[in-house]
Structure 1
Amino acid sequence: MIQNILWLTLETSPDDIPAMIAENDGLPRYFRIDTSLAAKPDHDLMKLALKNSDAKDLLVRLTNLGFSLYYNTTDESRFIRHDRVVHHWPAVKDGTFQVSDEGIVHQFERPESGTISRLVVIFSPINSKPRLIRYFRPSFATLMKYVPRDTAILRIADVGGVKGAFYLDTSFMPDNSSRIQRLIQSTIAEHGIDAHNVVLFGASKGGTGSLYHGLTGGWKFVSVDPIVTDSWYEQYENDYHFTAQGVFPRSKQEVFSELVGQTSLERRGESLNSVIVTSSRSPQYPYTSEIIHPLRDSLSVLDSGNPNILKHPDVAPKTIYAQVMAINTLLLGFSLPLGESAVP
């Protein structure tokens, strides 16, 4: 009989897990990891994995089996199987969040006007909370107040990976990006929205999502300091996003270099009517500049020189004015100067 819960410890070899699953006659619904032997046993497995290679190996193996950390307490981290997430997540169960036919968690906000002619699609930034909500961190919760009265908002969760799938494909979910594309397409079709009245928006990890899906689907986008390479976090932040051990089938560098190159050939000399908000003071700036170079004359790049921007997470909160301006400019069918422009 299949057990719903299998227990592991930090001393469990990841290579022993397949045998445990076979002996159990299949995947359990949950894995629980005893962390009592850790230097800080109250830390969740994600935190432990940043300094403990055994914890990291376990975390990656469970992630690639389709399990997500959803709870921790002293001496214990709990993981849930992917197909059980929507049955366990309170906001899904009470109807706050919806689930597409293909399993993409999302939330649709209707304008008070009752008329829907435009759409903003929002992708969430990084969150390290050891709960399912880290996959759906609220981004610009008050945006509805600052867009045209006929604008609806579609927020898309980023379930997958360790700290999110970056709205890309993962080794466990090789069609994740396609399912997200279809959710956007079906939402547009359901409400009869003209594709020219759609803007994708996100910051950081959400910026990765808006840039990728904007280029892939041909929609306008406002991407705020997107993460388009794994290099910096792997080299300087101890693989903080957990991208170095096979969670993703391809690196972001590969994905975006190919996508940008393909887009530049297909839409040569054509304005993309899209915006990247960034800052040369951000460590992501040189990576982004290199990756998007073939499209530089087709995009509006707003470079903030705000002296209070000292690191990547500073860019989004210090450039909100530019984000609102860019979103509304694109929603209303106007355009911004192409190429790079300095903003405060």
Structure 2
Amino acid sequence: MSVYVHDVNWGADHLEQKLRDGNGEINFVHVNHNDSDSGNLIRCARKSTFARDNLIVLANHGYYSYMSDGDQTRFVHEGSIPNLWKPVKDGKYDVSPDGLIFSVSEPQVKNAKPKLVVLFASMFRRIYTPYLVRHMAPNFMSLQKYISQDAYVVRLADIGGILGSFYLNTRFCPDNTSRIQRLLNHLMLTLGVNKEDIVLYGGSKGGTGALFHGLLGGYQFVSVDPIVSDRHYEDKLDDMHFTSRSHERTIFDRSKDDTFAELMRSYGRNRDNFQSDEAQTGAAGIIVTSERSPQYKYITNVIGDPARANLGLFESSNPKINSHPEVSRNTIHTVTMGMNAMLAGVAIGPGVYSIV
């Protein structure tokens, strides 16, 4: 086990050189920042560009924070997470051949033709926590009570970046989306699930993953207020998700705007080949959003005409929705309806639906 102790005041260039010299053999990096008011380096980076640059360097070399005592934040390399993270060590979480971390919950009722829901995690409620749980937020833990009882539930961790990779490619892992597609195919084969019996589901950051991988791989999906553009968070909230590409150091080579624009062009060209004959009777997937969410204008801009794109767009006018995080919790009935309809093989036609 190799540990490197770094002081944030030594600078990002010094850290970059040390990690390069380490040639992937440094398992842990302990960063002294002496800012107990902030609590950890992620919070420090919200106030200090100097700290932010150190944090970006770590992420771009595959190091993610796993604890902090207020004055020092500790980081573990992606390859060493299985040897550190208790749920993995205890067997609660599995690790794919590509290093992706996930959990599998067995169906409540065994069936010769099982179903599968893959849950992509949203932001953890304390998004700047230094602990690894921020990559595997415990969303909708009661999900199996509300879906078909013959369905497996797989929860997929979002390892990457600082608050997650959004299940997209990063500079450290430029083939992350391919790794996820390989895992989905692996699950389909090992669990014995037909492709038309798989539903990808997620809200917010998880909605980004469900939408992207559903369209990319031809899986049915329910995506709740997906983040398809970072402009709101970068321009109005001071880059709160650490996604900006306007700095010298950045985690993502491409903006989500460009990523999804290209995906939709590709999807439009290949749509007829993306899904099986059974799934072609209804919308390829559904998106649940609200005009009351700041993501609404970006979502509708990306997908264009839902009917033309063979997608179902459910727009909520619920007055309880006043922000992006409130979309998921106030549209849960529509979300579970969508998942259960897809699992039962009931077609939901493409187009726009008004809901409360």
Scaled by the length of structure 2, what TM-score is found? 0.91
1:49 aligns to what?
Answer: 45
C-alpha separation in 2, matches of 1:138 and 1:71: 18
Partner of 1:58: 54
Any residues of structure 2 matched to 1:11-50 within 5 Å, and which? 11-21=9-19, 27-36=25-34, 38=35, 40-50=36-46
Match status 1:87 vs 2:98:
no
What does residue 163 of structure 1 align with? 163
Aligned to 2:260: 256
Identity across the alignment (%): 36
Q: Give secondary structure in 2 for the equivalent of 1:11.
A: helix
Q: In structure 2, how many angstroms separate the alpha carbons of the residues matched to 1:25 and 1:55?
A: 23
Distance change >3 Å, CA 25–CA 319, structure 1 → 2: closer
CA distance in 1, matches of 2:121, 2:313: 21
Alpha-carbon distance in 2 for matches of 1:92, 1:28? 21
Unaligned runs of 5+ in 2: 274-279
Whether contact under 8 Å (2:116, 2:152) holds in the other structure is: yes
Check conservation: 2:44, 2:51, Cα contact below 8 A.
yes
Aligned residues: 340
Aligned mates of 1:114, 1:185 — CA distance in 2: 21
Matches within 5 A, 1:99-178: 99-115=95-111, 117-127=114-124, 128=127, 129-178=129-178
CA distance in structure 1 between the partners assigned to 2:9 and 2:155 by the alignment:
39
The 1:80–1:183 alpha-carbon spacing in structure 2 relative to 1, beyond 3 Å, is same
Amino acid at match of 1:247: I
| AA aligned opposite 2:259 | V
Change in CA separation of 1:21 and 1:207 when aligned onto 2, cut-off 3 Å:
closer
1:6 alignment partner AA:
Y
Tell me the CA shift for residue 296 of structure 1: 4.7
Pair 1:143–1:18, CA change in 2 (3 A): closer
Tell me by how many angstroms 1:112 deviates.
2.3
8 Å contact kept, 2:306–2:313: no
- CA 1:143/1:103 → structure 2, altered by over 3 Å: closer, same or farther? same
Cα distance change on mapping 1:21 and 1:228 into 2, 3 Å: closer
Q: 1:5 offset after TM fit, Å?
A: 2.1
State the shift of 1:69 in Å.
0.8
- 1:18 CA drift (Å): 3.7
Partner Cα separation in structure 2 for residue 105 and residue 291 of structure 1: 29
Q: Match of 1:220?
A: 220
Paired residue secondary structure (1:112): coil
Backbone CA RMSD of aligned residues: 1.8
Q: Deviations over 1:52-96 (max 9, x none)?
A: 111101000111011001111121111111111111000000000
Q: 1:28 to 1:148 in 2, by over 3 A?
A: same
